[in-house]
């Protein structure tokens, strides 16, 4: 009897265990279905299928600054080439320089110095034959006057306004500096050469012959590893490897009679804009791929390109019709056109340190224009010497200069 009770007890316990195991098996299948979303024949964990879990979406990583040209200061913002150019953000090097506008008069062989507060010429500096542009040096301590036919560079001390002893440089139509400050690049237009020189002594380092005519203006890529050059008299553009000092691309613009002038890169570094006097607008070029550019018409005699202090707008001088077009980078379109009262011939220039005034030389009218960058109103029309060209507004924000009338990074 006692033995029968023990057998029955063991049988009851075994039944309960089987029932419990059956329940666990059913729950396990349900969970498996829930986890994998499968039915019969579903893959098992042993088949390396991970269960679906709730994972927060990863935030898109900020773009890393590109690996720049060796020795080049780090890029401040990979989404904005002009991040260092905010209003009145003057470096320690230039913060005590008096604010002036330096105007090279190509036919008078002088530089007119304007006080931007009074809109008056306060000084006239004799320089060499046919001064074309006034160019801030890479370290921003010197202004170089490009005496094209005089075959010299005249240094001006922007602290005192005094000119120094001219330096012999052949055919200096325009002048740029590599982003690492190692070389000056002379745009020898007549000689059909790009001449790399020591940025301080101006001693010749390497001469790069070019096949086009009228090498003229340029701007550098975001990482500084290449630059785009316009060739005024043959309607072409070049792509040049900065470090190798070698032409790596050559393109004829797709319009007969093109006359490309100023070059500027977009804030995001993806496009280059090339003003073209004969095309009546600016070419939009993919610098990295160096593919066929497209034309955006702005006005007759499109010549100079100047980016505003907030990196949102670019001011475009139309020399042939006396107007300034405004291009909005964020909207990728022209938004305004300002016409100078009584016409004029707006050419090269720059934006004031506070970003409120656009200064342009009146190439054929022996005058300089000061224009309100908010309203487009003419603030002043200042008589200067004959044939005013590449004027420099100085000082300006930025860490270093890439040359021309003031391209700062």
CA separation for the pair 237, 216 (Å, rounded):
10
- Which residues does residue 114 pair with via DSSP β-bridges, in sequence order? 101, 121
Whether 389 and 133 have beta carbons less than 8 Å apart is answered as: yes
pLDDT, tens digit (0-9, with 9 covering 90-100), for 231-261 = 999 999 999 999 999 999 999 999 999 999 9
Residue 24 has pLDDT above 90, yes or no: no
pLDDT, tens digit (0-9, with 9 covering 90-100), for 367-392 = 999 999 999 999 999 999 999 999 99
Residue 43: the pLDDT is 35
Whether 393 and 368 have beta carbons less than 8 Å apart is answered as: no
CA separation for the pair 89, 16 (Å, rounded):
82
- Which residues does residue 152 pair with via DSSP β-bridges, in sequence order? 147, 168
Residue 118 has pLDDT above 90, yes or no: yes
CA separation for the pair 395, 164 (Å, rounded):
19
For residue 387, CA distances in Å to 145, 187, 355 come to 15, 20, 26
Residue 141 has pLDDT above 60, yes or no: yes
pLDDT, tens digit (0-9, with 9 covering 90-100), for 189-235 = 999 999 999 999 999 999 999 999 999 999 999 999 999 999 999 99
Residue 67: the pLDDT is 80
Residue 8: the pLDDT is 44
Q: Rounded mean pLDDT of the chain?
A: 89
Domain ranges of the chain: 83-166+263-394
pLDDT, tens digit (0-9, with 9 covering 90-100), for 386-408 = 999 999 999 999 999 999 999 99
Strands (E) in 277-366, as ranges, are 281-286, 294-297, 302-307, 313-318, 323-328, 333-339, 346-351, 357-362
Tokens of 57: 């979406």
User: Taking the chain, what is the end-to-end CA distance rounded to the nearest angstrom?
Assistant: 102
Helix (H) or strand (E) holding 292: none
Residue 62: the pLDDT is 62
Q: Which residues contact 40 (CB under 8 A, 6 or more apart)?
A: none
Residue 122: the pLDDT is 98
Whether 62 and 75 have beta carbons less than 8 Å apart is answered as: no
Residue 322 has pLDDT above 60, yes or no: yes
CA separation for the pair 271, 284 (Å, rounded):
6
Residue 76 has pLDDT above 70, yes or no: yes
**Other CB atoms closer than 10 Å to residue 177's CB: what's the count?**
25
State which fold the 83-166+263-394 domain adopts.
Methylamine Dehydrogenase; Chain H (2.130.10)
pLDDT, tens digit (0-9, with 9 covering 90-100), for 29-73 = 333 333 323 333 333 333 333 434 444 445 555 666 668 899 999
Whether 260 and 229 have beta carbons less than 8 Å apart is answered as: no
Helix, strand, or coil (residue 225): coil
Residue 380: the pLDDT is 98
Please give the model's pTM, rounded to 2 decimal places: 0.84
Residue 135: the pLDDT is 98
For residue 183, CA distances in Å to 145, 197, 277 come to 17, 5, 29
Of the candidate ranges 55-64, 85-94, 206-215, 264-273, the one whose mean pLDDT is the lowest: 55-64
CA separation for the pair 21, 16 (Å, rounded):
9
CA separation for the pair 153, 403 (Å, rounded):
13
Q: What percent of the chain is modeled with pLDDT above 70?
A: 84
pLDDT, tens digit (0-9, with 9 covering 90-100), for 346-355 = 999 999 999 9
Residue 356 has pLDDT above 60, yes or no: yes
Tokens of 275: 């003003």
């Amino acid at each position: 009897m006692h033995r029968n009770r023990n057998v029955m007890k063991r049988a009851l316990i075994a039944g309960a265990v089987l029932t419990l195991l059956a329940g666990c098996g059913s729950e396990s299948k349900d969970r498996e279905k829930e986890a994998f979303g499968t039915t019969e024949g579903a893959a098992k964990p042993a088949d390396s299928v991970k269960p679906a879990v709730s994972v927060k979406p990863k935030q898109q990583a900020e773009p890393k600054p590109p690996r720049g040209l060796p020795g080049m200061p780090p890029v401040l913002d990979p989404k904005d080439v002009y991040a260092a150019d905010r209003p009145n953000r003057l470096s320690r090097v230039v913060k005590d320089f008096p604010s002036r506008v330096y105007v090279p008069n190509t036919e008078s062989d002088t530089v007119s110095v304007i006080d931007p507060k009074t809109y008056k010429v306060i000084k006239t500096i004799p320089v060499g034959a046919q001064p074309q542009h006034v160019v801030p040096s890479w370290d921003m301590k010197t202004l170089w006057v490009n005496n094209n036919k005089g075959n010299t560079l005249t240094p001006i001390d922007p602290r005192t306004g005094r000119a120094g002893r001219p330096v012999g440089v052949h055919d200096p139509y325009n002048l740029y500096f590599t982003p690492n400050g190692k070389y000056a690049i002379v745009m020898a237009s007549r000689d059909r050469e790009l001449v790399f020189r020591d940025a301080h002594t101006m001693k010749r380092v390497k001469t790069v012959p070019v096949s086009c005519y009228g090498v003229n203006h340029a701007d550098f890529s975001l990482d500084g590893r290449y630059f785009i050059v316009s060739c005024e008299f043959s309607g072409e553009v070049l792509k040049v490897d900065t470090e190798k000092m070698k032409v790596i691309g050559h393109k004829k613009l797709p319009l007969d009679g093109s006359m490309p002038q100023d070059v500027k890169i977009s804030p995001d570094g993806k496009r280059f804009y090339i003003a073209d006097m004969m095309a009546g607008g600016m070419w939009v070029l993919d610098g990295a791929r160096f593919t066929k550019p497209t034309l955006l018409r702005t006005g007759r005699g499109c010549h100079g390109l100047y980016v505003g202090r907030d990196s949102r707008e670019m001011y475009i001088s139309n020399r042939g019709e006396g107007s300034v077009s405004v291009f909005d980078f964020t909207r990728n379109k022209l938004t305004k056109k300002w016409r100078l009262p009584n016409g004029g011939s707006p050419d090269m220039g720059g934006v004031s340190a506070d970003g409120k005034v656009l200064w342009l030389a009146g190439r054929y009218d022996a005058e300089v224009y000061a224009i309100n960058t908010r309203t487009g109103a003419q603030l002043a029309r200042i008589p200067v010497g004959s044939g005013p060209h590449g004027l420099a507004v100085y000082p300006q924000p930025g860490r270093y200069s890439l040359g021309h009338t003031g391209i700062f990074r």
